Structure 1
Amino acid sequence: MKARDLHQLSIQELEAKLKELKTELFKLRITKKIEGLKEPSKIRDTKRDIARILTVINEKRRGQAV
């Protein structure tokens, strides 16, 4: 997921995507503990996507406040 793609979404859409990714991260962590992951890098990638979304949300909120 690219930041430029995220900038095109509204804050509500970003928050929905954020919730979805947090749920996915939770499931990945549980799966890792129980049976192990074939692709452990998915956890890192999901965390980075969450950080990107949070950054874009904060940028948009700061832009609206000005």
Structure 2
Amino acid sequence: MSPWQPFWKRPRKPESESEWQKIKELREQRKRLKAAGVRLLDAGESSQPRCPNRISSAATRRSVPDGEGRPSALV
């Protein structure tokens, strides 16, 4: 016989076969969701980043040709 352990240290055992089945389904679901997350992460990293291009295009629209519309102190 094993030594006495408090209930919070004892291994949790499902009571019925249906509980075992539920645990198995949840384990498979967790595995599927984890794999899907990895696929999405890889897909996002492999695509070209849009942010730098968008920022540079916005900066290009704001830029003014030399000497036009600038105060004389900055020219």
For the aligned pair, the TM-score class normalised by the smaller chain equals: 0.3 to 0.5
**Structure showing greater Rg:** 2
Q: Which has the higher contact order (CA 8 A, sep 6+)?
A: 1
